[in-house]
Amino acid sequence: MTEPLKQQNDSLLAIQDWEQDQALTAGFSTRYGGVSRPPFADFNQGLHVNDREADVISNRDRLAASTDIPLKRWVIGEQVHGTEVAVVQEKDAGKGAFRLDSSIEGCDGLITNTPGLLLAAFFADCVPLYFYAPHAGWVGIAHAGWKGSVNGMAASMVKALQTQGVSADEIRAVIGPCISRKHYEVDQRVVDNIEGKYMNKVTDPLQDGKFLMNLRELNRLILLDAGVKETSIHVTGHCTYEQEDVFFSHRRDCGKTGRMLGFIGFTDGKGDV
């Protein structure tokens, strides 16, 4: 399978196929290119990890220059490990961009058809889910940790787009850099939350009641069941845990680490219409 996120520079991976399609920016930051100090060194994008606020804003400004959408027009959700999706409009420009407490409350998913807004979310092992409906003119991004994944964040995003008149079979999806199966050990408490039909496809039992869990595959299967065509779902090969020279990892770094930013937005127009 072709890797959907290509290295654009040391600081950024981009979904280049989508960007070439029309006036769209979509990608995922790395840990390099910023000013943050250890343990957040050096391109941390998260204000919620006790990094210096001024350093984070500086890092975001640097990334904004690569997205063609200024920081004042970024939109960020609160990220509560739920499955709520917010429809982002012009009035939401700047929410969460400069202050943590201004984020859109209670949501882990964002969708919009408004050009010039950048939908953004933070990651350091959790799953970034990207959505693009070129003809209808909608984009979206979602944050899915294990709770969001097992509770169907991916399906919630598809449903939210359908509510806006988007057909599921038009939706293109990318599952971005996250912790891979061989590094994601979970216990029975987590596995008990997985829907039965997915269990054997996304878990491998270990000893002592532990399992390896494939978050990527779980989200792919949920997208398929939600009506997204198999040929329209692309899955990254990047592992945030394994690639220490590229990514922050909450699990590898024992919780003391920075965050990458996943983002998507129409830069100066929406879709084909």
| Model confidence at 263: pLDDT above 90 | yes
Phi, psi angles (nearest 5°) of residue 229: -65, 145
Q: Could you give the C-alpha distances from 203 to 150, 177, 206, 218, 267, in angstroms and in order? A: 12, 19, 10, 9, 39
pTM given for the model: 0.96
* Nearest one of 6, 1, 51, 59 to 28, comparing CA atoms: 6
Please give, one letter per residue, the 3-state secondary structure of 183-245.
Answer: HCEEEHHHHCCCCHHHHHHHEEECCCCEEEECHHHHHHHHHHHCCCCHHHEEECCCECCCCCC
* Nearest one of 122, 64, 66 to 93, comparing CA atoms: 64
- The conformation of residue 37, written as its DSSP 8-state character, comes to P
pLDDT at residue 268 in the model = 74
Question: What are 144-202's pLDDT values in tens digits?
Answer: 999 999 999 999 999 999 999 999 999 999 999 999 999 999 999 999 999 999 999 99
Q: What is the mean pLDDT of residues 8-14?
A: 96
b/e 108-119 (16+ beta carbons within 10 angstroms → b): bbbbbbbbbbbb
Between these two residues, 68 and 143, which has the higher pLDDT value? 143
Q: Which residues contact 271 (CB under 8 A, 6 or more apart)?
A: 22, 113, 133, 134, 135, 136, 137, 138
pLDDT at residue 272 in the model = 45
pLDDT at residue 91 in the model = 97
Question: What are 238-260's pLDDT values in tens digits?
Answer: 999 999 999 999 999 999 999 99
Question: What are 20-73's pLDDT values in tens digits?
Answer: 877 999 999 999 999 999 999 999 999 999 999 999 999 999 999 999 999 999
Q: What is the mean pLDDT of residues 219-234?
A: 98
Tokens of 31: 């840990």
Comparing 12-21, 107-116, 125-134, 146-155, which segment has the lowest mean pLDDT? 12-21
Task: Label residue 269 by pLDDT band (50, 70, 90).
Answer: low
* Nearest one of 123, 117, 165 to 140, comparing CA atoms: 117
Tokens of 12: 């950024």
pLDDT at residue 20 in the model = 82
State which fold the 6-179+215-266 domain adopts.
CNF1/YfiH-like putative cysteine hydrolases (3.60.140)
Residue 106 gets the label, from left (phi > 0), alpha (psi -120 to 50) or beta, of: left
| Model confidence at 1: pLDDT above 70 | no
Between these two residues, 2 and 216, which has the higher pLDDT value? 216
- The conformation of residue 117, written as its DSSP 8-state character, comes to -
Q: Domains of the chain: which residue ranges?
A: 6-179+215-266
pLDDT at residue 273 in the model = 38
